[in-house]
Amino acid sequence: MALMLAGSVAGAAESDTFDDFDEFNEFEVAESGESAPAFDPLSGYNRFMTQVNDRMYFWALKPVAEGYRFVIAEPVRVCIGNCFDNLGFPIRFVNNLLQLKAKPAGIEAARFGMNITVGVLGLFDPAESWLKLHPRPEDFGQTLGHYGAGGGFHIVLPFFGPSNLRDTLGRVPDYFLDPLNYIDHWETRLALDSLDVVNKTSLRIGQYEALKKDAIDLYVFLRNAYEMKRTRDIKE
């Protein structure tokens, strides 16, 4: 879970997201029916995996990300992040289409076309900085939710963090939409995935620590925040 929040995972799911978590209280459910209490029959396992992911963040990911940040200047790391974000275009575009969101899908297509050309293969984001064309993040978990699928039970995934049954199943079709997964050389694919996580984490060091410090019960906070945010994302 820590990995999702601090890396890419660092999750929802692209994620994205610490600012959104500030408004949540781990012992309250959103008012006005925004979200029901999380269905959590795996709470024992989930708490254990929360601790495992937390240790992995502090013992492995954070030290590597801090060393990476020391060596690589921030503007370069931002460009690398832009490039990886641009590669997520197929997931966002297809899931917008599946939800019949024509305008957001068109914006995603325009963003990709401009960033891959004027933005030098996605290293820069002129679509947002010049034209204010903001990303329209959608994934297959949101697509399933859009058509009425409930989240099911909450589950904390190793490395990836908070999720639920619907969103975990939604990772499968999204996997096949990720162009990095079509690299035959698995060592190269692993290196690129690792670079993505470490790079994103290097740009967010301190955010997870602040979240953990302020949470009375970290697991409950992250569980409820994840479920509420996903409910909100599906409604948007």
Q: Residue 82: its pLDDT value, please?
A: 97
Q: Residue 105: its pLDDT value, please?
A: 98
| pLDDT mean by block of 10 residues, the chain; 236 residues | 42 42 51 62 96 96 98 97 97 98 97 96 95 96 97 95 97 97 95 97 94 90 94 92
Q: Residue 51: its pLDDT value, please?
A: 96
Q: Residue 38: its pLDDT value, please?
A: 76
Give the chain as a 3 state SS string. Answer: CHHHHHCCCCCCCCCCCHHHHCCCCCCCCCCCCCCCCCCCCCHHHHHHHHHHHHHHHHHHHHHHHHHHHHHCCHHHHHHHHHHHHHHCHHHHHHHHHHCCCHHHHHHHHHHHHHHHHCCCCCCCCHHHHCCCCCCCCCCHHHHHHHCCCCCCCEEEECCCEEEEHHHHHHHHHHHHHCHHHHCCCHHHHHHHHHHHHHHHHHCCCCHHHHHHHHCCCHHHHHHHHHHHHHHHHHHC
Q: Residue 37: its pLDDT value, please?
A: 67
